Structure 1
């Protein structure tokens, strides 16, 4: 089976993912890139949650930490929607920048927080409607939400990443359309359009790549899991709220030998806990090993060295200062203004 490997492998990757997702967080926080910070935070939280569960219940199914399981299962419900919602914030900001939309910075931060934090919290609240028992404990995996496999669960829980991904797709299409429009409209004019020739070093390009990858993932994976659940033998019709919550205090404890015999259960559990790890490694690859990140690493190294050696930190060289003029900690998503002077010109501010 694809997921047939020692549980320690997941624990190690989850621990690494927890750290990697937070490495670029500080300088993007300084740059006020709230949308990307939300994505990093949720990915890191998901990795930490999976790591703790895999360690505590590596060879056990005992209900040894019920309060933690209550918290952990809420994170599991919120994280898939939170990652997609954070991606929506990124795509929305990209569209606003490329279409030159006038906006208030405080208002944009508020909207990002409503989408990136408010939507996951709403998901947690709605999950109680279809929560049949307090939680389940799977050996090796740990705590799992006790969501019943009934029609309302799909509308309230499972379909939301797909809905958000569809909205992201609209924003991404709009960004590419606006970009292509200005390229086409300026090919015959005197204005250069090198700003539109994206490269890996361009922050807008990497944000767009992250948005596209998350959109594809948020459509394919939840769609596949929904099809598995719909064909499952435990799929039943909705009777009533009282019927679903009639045994709410129950804690099901399933040994690895039992749940690993069911292919659908294995796929659902493993994809659920590996998804935050994949997000963490992706965000580090896109934002943690680029030129601007290397400059931050050098600054951090010089600061640590100065503290340990008791000498003032070395100043940046003139060449490095010139190259960082338009990079961090200025806003990561550059705000572009279009000036019309006969032929027009794009400026980065």
Structure 2
């Protein structure tokens, strides 16, 4: 039994709350969606590890119906969010738009909401096309979506995230080219564009997106390779969805070691992605200033202590990360 799974999953979920306040104030839909999706999946992983830590009992099938679809959606949500971040950074660094107006920001928020929530929900529905049966229950890991591995599944489940990740890297490269062309005046250009971005925040966002996408490409490629080892020919709709209400159970004692190892590797993808995200946003200067400002507020409001303006000012104002 992997007793470390629940605390790691719940710790990862809690760490995501650290950068949440300033992203919420900035109304940055892409990064907020990353926080939300990663938070939900970490909680799902933690709950599943507790319930099915040493059994494969069918105890809460409705939970499995819901969470298995959410897992499918999350596979598309992270690369979609990173693509939105890279598109925004490329647009800011270019000279196509001198300043960002309120209507521009509103349109960007709508586009990012569609990409980060609408697109994953769409593929959650399309997954039914290659869903061979209801879901699987894996000992120590819990409920997982099932996919009838075939050529249609490749293009529905694995190719879109790879395409989104590749596009993200392309926009990140274009943004870097813009920076190299005007690197001397880049900070002044960011200030004049009124996007609330400093050079440090700009490159933190870009590096986060690039690292997440390289990580996503490696993981998706690995899961595609491993899944194709058991690929089957697509016959017809009735055959693929025959006995659809079936729930397959995988006890550790009767599962090949290579499959167990694959489950273990794939399980770590979500916590690792979370730690990467938190590393870029929870320990920078913006985050430290936020923690200090919250500490001052706590002393003044809760502890009723007197904090001089000079002391509070030394902590800096709370910046808006975008």
Using structure 2 for the length normalisation, give the TM-score.
0.89
| Structure 1 residues 1-349: aligned runs within 5 Å | 6-102=1-97, 104-183=104-183, 202-232=200-230, 235-259=231-255, 261-263=256-258, 265-310=259-304, 315=309, 317=311, 319-320=313-314, 323-324=316-317, 328-329=319-320, 332-333=321-322
Could you give the per-residue CA deviations for residues 138-160 of structure 1, whole angstroms, max 9, x where no partner exists? 00000011211122111111222
Q: In the TM superposition, what is the alpha-carbon distance from 1:315 to its structure 2 partner?
A: 4.6
Structure possessing the higher radius of gyration over alpha carbons: 1
Could you give the per-residue CA deviations for residues 38-65 of structure 1, whole angstroms, max 9, x where no partner exists? 1122111111111111111001110001
Q: How many residues align?
A: 309
Does the 8 Å CA contact 1:44/1:276 hold for their aligned counterparts? no
Give the distance between the partners of 2:150 and 2:63, measured in 1 at CA.
26
Does the 8 Å CA contact 2:293/2:312 hold for their aligned counterparts? no
Give the distance between the partners of 1:106 and 1:55, measured in 2 at CA.
41
Does the 8 Å CA contact 2:20/2:35 hold for their aligned counterparts? yes
Does the 8 Å CA contact 1:126/1:156 hold for their aligned counterparts? yes
Specify the SS of the correspondent of 2:273. helix
Does the 8 Å CA contact 1:42/1:82 hold for their aligned counterparts? yes
Does the 8 Å CA contact 1:94/1:175 hold for their aligned counterparts? yes
More strand by share: 1
More helix by share: 2
Cα root mean square deviation, aligned: 2.2
Q: In the TM superposition, what is the alpha-carbon distance from 1:283 to its structure 2 partner?
A: 1.5
Give the distance between the partners of 1:107 and 1:69, measured in 2 at CA.
36
Q: In the TM superposition, what is the alpha-carbon distance from 1:266 to its structure 2 partner?
A: 2.7
Using structure 1 for the length normalisation, give the TM-score.
0.82
Q: In the TM superposition, what is the alpha-carbon distance from 1:176 to its structure 2 partner?
A: 1.0
